[in-house]
Amino acid sequence: MQLPDYDDVCRAHERIAPWIHRTPILTSATFDAMTGARLFFKCENFQKTGAFKSRGAVNAVFGLEEADAQRGVATHSSGNHGMALARAAACRGIECTVVMPETAPRAKVDAVRGYGGQVVFCAPRNTARQQTLDEIVAASGANVVPPYDDARVIAGQGTCAKELLEDVEDLDIVIAPIGGGGLISGTALSCRALSPHTQVLAGEPANADDAYRSVKAGERLVEDAPDTIADGLKASLGELNWGIVIRDVDDILLASEEAIIETMRLIWQRMKIIVEPSCAVPLAAILHHPERFADQRVGVILTGGNVDLERLPWL
Q: Which residue lies nearer to a second copy by CB, 83 or 191?
A: 83
Nearer to a second copy, 46 or 192 (CB): 46
Give whichever of 23 and 236 is closer to a second copy, judged by the CB atom.
Answer: 23
Amino acid identity, position 297: R
DSSP readout, 184-236?
HHHHHHHHHHH-TTSEEEEEEEGGG-HHHHHHHHTS----SS---S-GGG-SP
- To a second copy, the closest distance from the beta carbon of 272 in angstroms equals 4
Nearer to a second copy, 45 or 159 (CB): 45
* Residue 117: closest CA among 138, 136, 103, 139: 136
* Cα–Cα distance, 149 to 157 (Å, whole number): 12
Specify burial of residue 197 (Cβ count, 10 A radius: 0-12, 13-18, 19+).
exposed
Question: Strand, helix or coil at 77?
Answer: coil
Q: Where are the beta strands (DSSP E) in 65-219?
A: 73-76, 96-101, 118-122, 143-144, 173-177, 199-205
CB of 275 to a second copy, least distance (A): 8
Task: Output the smallest distance, CB 259 to a second copy, in A.
Answer: 17
Nearest approach, Cβ of 45 to a second copy (angstroms)?
5
Residue 42 CB, shortest distance to a second copy, in Å, is: 14
User: Measuring CA to CA, which residue among 174, 159, 158 is closest to residue 298?
Assistant: 174
CB of 104 to a second copy, least distance (A): 16
What is d(CA 6, CA 151) in angstroms, rounded to the nearest whole number?
11
Which is nearer to a second copy, 30 or 256 (by Cβ)?
30
Measured from the CB atom, is 16 or 191 closer to a second copy?
A: 16
- Residues within the interface to a second copy (CB under 8 A): 24, 26, 45-46, 50, 107, 265, 268-269, 271-275, 305, 309-310, 312, 314-315
Look at the chain and count its residues.
315
Closest distance of CB 305 from a second copy, Å: 4
Could you tell me if 145 and 57 are in contact, meaning their C-beta atoms sit under 8 angstroms apart? yes
DSSP state of 116: T
CA angle 256, 232, 178 (to 5 degrees): 65
**Among residues 2 and 269, whose Cβ is nearest to a second copy?**
269
Smallest gap, in angstroms, from Cβ of residue 51 to a second copy? Answer: 10
Amino acid code (one letter) for 66: E
CA 95/CA 242 separation, integer angstroms = 30
Phi, psi of 303 (to 5 degrees): -85, -35
Choose between 105 and 238: whose C-beta lies nearer to a second copy: 105
